[in-house]
Amino acid sequence: MNLRDLKYIIAVAETHHFGQAAERCFVSQPTLSGQIKKLEQELGVAIFERTNRSVEITPIGSELLTYARRILEQAEAMQQLAHAHQDPLAGPLRIGAIPTISPYLMPLILKPLRQQHPALKPVLSEELTDVLLQRLHDHEIDTALLATPVEDRDFEVIPLYDEPFWVAYPREHAFYTRERIRLRDLDQENLLLLAEGHCLAQQAMEVCRIKERNDQGDLADLRAASLETLIQLVGAGYGVTLVPALAMGGAWTSGSGVVAQPLDIADASRRVSLVLRRSFPRRPAVEALAAVILSHLPNTVRPVRGKATGKGRSRQRRA
């Protein structure tokens, strides 16, 4: 058994195809297949179930896959540790982010991150919270930008900022003439939410004191997959929604006929943090990312570890 063999089984597990796995590993298919068969013989178990149409990993293969990923990460960590004295902030940093953070925060910080740490190479991926947490567990990403808390002893959480929720509504809505929007003002509104799996949907329900989704009525099926879709539905007059403050600074909201303003509700915000494995050997790289984020936040959010910069007032109304 060697590291090369472990890379082979990971590639097959992810592609479900020996040919594609061989291409990824830059070897011939017979070479890859032969090495995997030798590894199965050495271990005395079948890692994959092979048919004419598909390749599926076996239950024991799934357990072995977890160990394979950990071993490869530790091997990579040995290489990184060897170079740490020369430049601890060099090499790829695999960053995951949820869809309600990534499009609005990343454009603010990627350029200054590259300027301040040119040897650090961010590799970005965007997934839902549960997927990112699993990928952290599986050592597929190094850190994740999430709305916390996250309850897992294997993870360390670096708090960044508290992001208020704003209420978005059509320009012709009665809210437009109000200086403040309170919780009771939302009682009779059609509150549009993101689809199941988005943590923002659950957070919006908690802010509005809603215990469960309303599965009845004309709007029961209007569950958008993105904030952009929610804004378009609001602009079309289907209801109102809650959006995180950073999202309202994007150009995608212009021309939508939607206005947004902060809620006059205590604790109507979410905590955004960087989450990483406690065992991750390159914590200084994550700390560097956190420092760049904190130094480039607009004033519409409240930093936890430093001062925000940029223009904008938290009580303003945005169209």
Q: What pLDDT was estimated at residue 84?
A: 60
Q: What pLDDT was estimated at residue 312?
A: 36
- Please indicate, yes or no, whether the overall pTM of this predicted structure exceeds 0.85: no
How confident is the chain (319 residues) per 10-residue block, as mean pLDDT? Answer: 95 94 95 96 95 90 95 88 72 92 94 95 93 93 92 92 90 84 81 71 68 47 73 86 81 68 83 94 93 94 64 44
Contact 8, 64 (CB under 8 A): no
Contact 109, 161 (CB under 8 A): no
SS3 303: strand
Closest CA to 123 of 136, 110, 132, 135: 110
Q: What pLDDT was estimated at residue 310?
A: 40
- Domains of the chain, earliest start first: 3-83 (1.10.10.10), 91-161+271-303 (3.40.190.10), 162-262 (3.40.190.10)
Listing DSSP states for 70-135 in one string gives HHHHHHHHHHHHHHTTT-TT-EEEEEEE-TTTHHHHHHHHHHHHHHH-TTEEEEEEE--HHHHHHH
